[in-house]
Amino acid sequence: MVLIVGDPGVGKSRLLQRFVDDFPRVEHETWTEVPVLSVLVPAKCSLSRLPGAMLQALGSPLWNKGNEEARTYQLETLLVKCRVRLVILVEVNHLIDRGKERSHYLLADWIKLLSERTRIPFALAGIDRARVLLRVNEQLADRVREVIQIEPFGVGERCRNQMGDALAAFNGLLGDIDRISLEDDSTARMFTFATAGRLRKVRQLLVRSVEIAAKQPKPRIDHAVLAEAFRTAVFKDAPDVRNPFVAAKFDGLPLNRPGEPYHPRRQTAEEVDA
């Protein structure tokens, strides 16, 4: 069992989906083989809802029938019959959105027992507070062989200019539209401030930049276009002093103050979209 954690938008779900896509379902004559079962844990998920969510992801027409015990039995049976080799629970932090330590313990224990009974490994993914499941249930923690932290993209030697590499990859997808060099050090640093290194924000910013540039007589993505895209797609009406793409005025501080995109309180409100 592994736990994969990271800030909202760093690419956990996309990375896991790429893995799932490599092992598609196989339709046999009388049954369906599901090599990898990926389940999006519902918001404020309880122990009574989790088995149903997994059954629904598996494709059972009876996912909402029976009590918790009946659904768990149905789930154990189908996991084995469908030859599931790996279960991925995405957004496991939703398991601690409600209730107290006792309910969190029971949810963690249910996952542990399901893995043991079916002999199927689990990969748990979510934001950093998903670690609570390991703190409240020592037996589950003992079965987690590794906690993998997915860090945001950064710049500089320590990060091996990850943002520049990411922008170079996106650069190849922008087609023939005229643009500045996105992956040079100064622009990559601007992107790092503007997106906090989060893959989703990079994508949103570039999509909006293309939309803005396309409306110009001579479409071109430059710092002015990126600044406008930041004001509309990331930080609405951001003042120039807090806009990384307005180099002459930006104060060079992280955008984590109250009311800004990466303030911790605001991140909590966005976790459902992580």
Which residue is associated with the tokens 């689990």? 122
CA-to-CA dists, residue 17 to 47, 162, 255, angstroms = 25, 21, 29
Q: What is the pLDDT of residue 119?
A: 97
Residue 46's pLDDT is 86
Q: How confident is residue 90, by pLDDT bands cut at 50, 70 and 90?
A: very high
CA–CA gap between residue 8 and residue 252 (Å, rounded): 22
Q: What does residue 166 show for φ and ψ, rounded to 5 degrees? A: -65, -40
| Vertex 70 angle, CA 27 and 141, to 5° | 85
Strands 32-33 and 36-40: unpaired
pLDDT grade for 264, boundaries at 50, 70 and 90:
confident
SS3 152: coil
pLDDT at 267 over 70: no
pLDDT score at 155:
62
Residue-range domain boundaries for the chain: 2-150, 162-273
Higher pLDDT, 247 or 269: 247
CA distance to 35, 54, 174, per residue, from 87 (Å) = 9, 9, 35
The average confidence (pLDDT) of the chain is 91
Taking Cα atoms as reference points, which of 85, 82, 63, 84 lies closest to residue 74? 63
Q: Which residues contact 119 (CB under 8 A, 6 or more apart)?
A: none
Q: Does 266 have pLDDT greater than 70? A: no
Q: What percent of the chain has pLDDT over 90?
A: 76
CATH architecture assigned to 2-150: 3-Layer(aba) Sandwich (3.40)
Query: Could you give the count of Cα atoms lying within 13 Å of 114 in the half-sphere of its Cβ?
Result: 29
pLDDT above 80 (res 233): yes
- CB neighbours of 132 closer than 8 A, spacing ≥ 6? 96, 104
pLDDT surpassing 90 at residue 63: yes
**Which residues, other chains included, contact 113 with Cβ-Cβ below 8 Å and sequence gap of 6+?**
none
The reported pLDDT for the residue numbered 159 is: 59
Does the pLDDT value for residue 171 go beyond 60?
yes
**Length reported for the chain:** 274
pLDDT category at 160 given cuts 50, 70, 90 is: low
Q: Is the confidence at residue 166, as pLDDT, over 60? A: yes
Above 80 in pLDDT, residue 198? yes
- Banded model confidence at residue 227, pLDDT cuts 50, 70, 90: very high
Among 33-47, 161-175, 222-236, 255-269, which is the least confidently predicted range? 255-269
Residue 41: both structure tokens together: 């844990």
The residue among 89, 91, 57 whose CA lies nearest residue 274 is 91
Q: Which of 131-145, 154-168, 181-195, 202-216 has the lowest mean pLDDT?
A: 154-168
User: Given a cut of 70, is residue 273 above it in pLDDT?
Assistant: no
pLDDT computed for residue 70 by the predictor:
95
